Amino acid sequence: MHFTQVASPSAMPRDKLSPMPLTYLVSLHRSGCDVMKAPIATHVLPAHASFDSGELVIAGISATELAKKFGTPAFIIDEGDFNARARAFNTALKNAMGDRAGHCYYAAKAFISVEVAKWVNAAGLSLDVCTGGELEVALAAGFPPSRIEFHGNNKSVQEISRAIDVGVSHIVADSEIEIERINEIAGKRGVKQKILIRITPGVEAHTHQYIATAHEDVKFGFSIASGAAMKALSLAKSSANIEVAGVHFHIGSQITGLEGFDLAIARTIEFLAEVKQEISEELAELVIGGGFAIAYLDTDQTIDAKQVIEHLAGIVKEECAKAGLAVPLLSIEPGRAIVGPTTVTLYEVGTVKSVELEQGSRNYIAVDGGMSDNIRTSLYDAQYSVALANRISTSSTRASRVVGKHCESGDIIIRDCELPADIQPGDLLVTPATGAYGRSMASNYNHLPRPPVIAVRDGRARVIVRRENYSDLLSLEVASEVASEE
């Protein structure tokens, strides 16, 4: 089940849809004519990747060369593509909002490393971090705290203290306890901390239930409908060491239609109008989160940042005009749509076996990674494309399943696919669009060292996150001396 097929707009209650549903997904078949022949459509691959006589080449470097030099599994990130996508969102926001443009925050949770934080900074974007750990990565990269926003539904005293000490620009408050915590910590330091109140506009986003975040029965934010949002706002307003800059929502991730955003914006601006009545003040900032979908399969469509942001900016302006409010500074937080498509995972095939089933046979192709580098298939039923990456095959295809090397039958990377029948140990497979929530959700399950991230650009490849090794794993062990039995 791919997210684009989870819920069609017609499956949503009518009152949750805006009158004019707009699809923001456009096909971007960059070179068009080779789509039929390429094992994976160009719009699912990074911008500088293509198949040359059956072999995947990224930014001028072949999959074989990359595997030989850096080993497998490995995440390969197209640096130029990352920069272009980051800048496209930033420029789209600036152009659509002019002097009402707030921050284009890159959502670090999708994937962050010190090097990537430097790219984000150089591209002029801001950064959304959601833990002390992500904050430390940003600081290690020299990212200016004045462009960092701090998220999370359970920020500890230590995390908030560190964020305030280094001077992050905004903290997004997610509970009354947090508002009190921020107020107290800011007070001790003699500062007034800018915060945003995270609200839940009660929208069912079209996506997998685990990554929808703004319906009522969810751990995030304060509900508008129940009155919790207004109550939180009054608490924050009456807190001496807090400046309430505005409100924030994030309705989910891998959202394929804009109706949910339209509705969330409309409800939020209605709420801001009520706030104005209650406290005679217009809040200056509105953050509408991230969540924009990307293409995982040839049949998926991909988004145009300019078109999406223009549309959302238009709705914000329209709703503010209706409500008689000044247009707030508008910020966005895309993660997946920036990093997701820029990265592929390269695997080496280790074993192949045919399993006989009632309806025929299936080739189980086992690679040298698995659910420890891509948990999304088992966690969300996510679907990925896959192709042979090191050679051309003239063989016919077979019903295949690409699995990992973990001791678990749910360790599946691609549940159902057609791959050449002659795939052998030593062949390379590629799964594209693994940049978001791939390496960032990787684990050491079964004590597998996590894969490296290799940046490629203009014929050069370099390690930006090195491969873990057994010493890394063992370095955490604290074992007691056990007396041996004589």
Catalytic-role residue among 33, 130, 407, 417: 407
Q: Could you say whether residue 335 binds ligand LLP (CB under 6 A)?
A: yes
Strands 329-332 and 25-26, bridge-based pairing:
unpaired
The string over 381-409, giving b where at least 16 C-beta atoms fall within 10 Å of a residue's C-beta and e elsewhere, is: ebbbbbbbbbbebeeeebbbbbbbbbeee
Q: Could you say whether residue 436 binds ligand LLP (CB under 6 A)?
A: yes
**In the complex, minimum distance from the CB of residue 31 to ligand LLP, in angstroms, rounded to a whole number:** 27
Q: Comparing C-alpha atoms, which of 103, 160, 102 is closest to residue 135?
A: 160
Round to whole Å and give the CA distance between 393 and 418: 13
Structure tokens at 37: 């022949």
Q: Could you say whether residue 334 binds ligand LLP (CB under 6 A)?
A: yes
Count the site residues for ligand LLP by CB under 6 A: 23
Nearest 5 degrees, angle CA 319-CA 324-CA 325?
75
Site stretch for ligand LLP (CB under 6 A), options 22-30, 140-148, 360-368, 435-443: 435-443
Site stretch for ligand LLP (CB under 6 A), options 31-39, 88-96, 249-257, 401-409: 249-257
Phi-psi region of 280 (alpha: psi -120 to 50; beta: other; left: phi over 0): left
Site stretch for ligand LLP (CB under 6 A), options 91-99, 140-148, 259-267, 327-335: 327-335
Structure tokens at 105: 């925050």
Measured from each CB, the residue nearest to ligand LLP is 290
Which of 437, 450, 454, 455 is the binder for ligand LLP (CB under 6 A)? 437
**In the complex, minimum distance from the CB of residue 36 to ligand LLP, in angstroms, rounded to a whole number:** 30
Q: Decide: residue 269, CB within 10 A, 0-12 exposed, 13-18 middle, 19+ buried.
A: buried
Phi-psi region of 152 (alpha: psi -120 to 50; beta: other; left: phi over 0): left
Query: Tell me, what amino acid is at 414?
Result: I
Which 8-state DSSP code applies to residue 390?
A: B
Q: Could you say whether residue 250 binds ligand LLP (CB under 6 A)?
A: yes
Query: Is residue 130 annotated as a catalytic residue, yes or no?
Result: no
Which of 333, 348, 368, 427 is the binder for ligand LLP (CB under 6 A)? 333
Which of 47, 61, 110, 148 is the binder for ligand LLP (CB under 6 A)? 110
Q: Could you say whether residue 465 binds ligand LLP (CB under 6 A)?
A: no
Tell me the catalytic residues.
407
> Which residues contact ligand LLP (rule: CB under 6 A)?
107, 109-110, 128, 151, 211, 250, 253-254, 289-292, 333-337, 376, 380, 436-437, 441
